[in-house]
Amino acid sequence: MPAEPYLFRLGERLSVGLTGLEPARRERHRQFFVSRQNPDGGFRGRDVASDLYYTAFAVRGLALLQGLDGPVCQKLAGYLARQTEMHVSVIDLVSWLYCALMVQLHGQIDVLAQSPPDWPDRLAQLLETFRTPDGGYAKTHEGAAGSTYHTFLVALCYELIGRQAPGPDPLRQFLFDRQRDDGGFVEIAPMQRSGTNPTAAAVAVLQMVGAVTPALRDDVQGFLGDVWSSEGGFQANTRVPFPDSLSTFTGLLTALDLGLAGPAQPEACRALIDSLEFPDGGFRGALWDTIADVEYSFYALGVLALLHEVPTASAG
């Protein structure tokens, strides 16, 4: 298991990729993220209230831009300390823990200082309450079947406490049961059409447990070719007629991590992301969108960062 958690490794990788971002452009987007911090210290999405999910994306975005400073962390620490219901869903749990660790790293504020010494053990026990009989993890305790995305989130959470999800064999089987004939993966068992984002989530977990094979690489390469759009990015699936920044980020990241040649075309991707950028900071999710938010802004910046790896990956 790597010494550093996946989310931290990815954040550092993307930050390096944005090293050459023009200072004025960097500052516009930093100001956009900061403007989404509410007086309570959390960050908002498209609604006015603070939300742990969007707070985590704002923190990730600010970290990429090297803008997670003391004042932001101070306010954020207060918000995190007041969140007592983050255990209701996997998303809230991983969002809270990631933010708490980032505040400790960047702001030297230990939100977990008053927690019992065995809090990692308690957290691991809590995570297992989301486990489902099929070997995956559900969104909530009431879930009867595993979700590819939430299984990925639980794996991330385990890494944040320096552990791996128990039962790697059932976990591998769960994920391969979600693979379809088109080479990609689906979010839940009844689905037949693979999606770019569940495919990326499945591949990430399979990499964590050492289950990536040449056959899997070939399958995923074929699927990514099917969801590549002539408009310059990846589509969410083959039925969605347009690319978006989230799918473009996850598709590009998966291709790079698996060492796949193509199909992403750097200049076309860059043109797509540029078309989603607002002049005063922030990005919308797709051409049909009208509002910038912190999640899609993170993904857009992530695409710009990853594009710096594409020539090297292709040359290799």
pLDDT in tens, 242-268: 999 999 999 999 999 999 987 778 999
pLDDT digits (tens, 9 = 90+) for 93-110: 999 999 999 999 999 999
82 pLDDT tier (thresholds 50, 70, 90): very high
Cα(280)–Cα(284) distance, integer angstroms: 12
Q: Which has the closest alpha carbon to 44: 8, 77, 79, 14?
A: 79
pLDDT at 86 over 70: no
User: Cα–Cα distance between 309 and 307 in angstroms, integer?
Assistant: 5
- Give the pLDDT of residue 142: 84
Q: Greater confidence, 5 or 88?
A: 5
Output b/e per residue, 82-94; b: 16+ Cβ within 10 A: ebeebbebbbbbb
How far apart CA 151 and CA 62 sit, in angstroms, is 26
User: Which pLDDT band holds residue 91 (cuts at 50, 70, 90)?
Assistant: very high
Neighbours of 271 (CB within 10 A): 13
The pLDDT, as a whole number, for residue 262 is: 76
Contact 126, 87 (CB under 8 A): yes
Residue 62 has pLDDT above 70, yes or no: yes
Which range has the worst mean pLDDT, 13-17, 84-88, 185-189, 239-243? 84-88
Q: Which two tokens stand for residue 187?
A: 């979010």
Can you tell me whether residue 151 is helix, strand or coil?
Answer: helix
Q: Is residue 312 pLDDT above 50, yes or no?
A: no
Longest distance between any two alpha carbons in the chain, whole Å: 53
pLDDT at 84: 74
For residue 141, the model assigns a pLDDT of 85
% of the chain residues with pLDDT over 70: 97
Mean pLDDT, residues 153-168: 96
pTM: 0.95
* CA 51/CA 45 separation, integer angstroms: 7
Cα(133)–Cα(190) distance, integer angstroms:
16
DSSP three-state, residue 95? helix
Tokens of 147: 């979700």
Over 70: is that where the pLDDT of 35 sits?
yes
* pLDDT at residue 87 in the model: 56
Give pLDDT, residue 263. 77
Q: Mean pLDDT, to the nearest integer, of 70-88?
A: 88
What band does 85 get if pLDDT is binned at 50, 70 and 90? low
How is 194-226 classified by DSSP, letter by letter?
-BHHHHHHHHHHHHHTT---HHHHHHHHHHHHH
53, containing H or E segment: helix 52-64
Q: In one letter, which amino acid is 47? A: D
Least confident of 158-162, 278-282, 312-316: 312-316
Does residue 313 have a pLDDT over 90?
no
C-beta neighbour count of 263 within 10 angstroms: 15
Q: What is the DSSP letter of 131?
A: B
Report whether pLDDT(2) > 80.
no
For the cut 90, the answer to whether the pLDDT of residue 3 exceeds it is no
3-state secondary structure of 234: strand
Q: Is the pLDDT of residue 315 over 50?
A: no
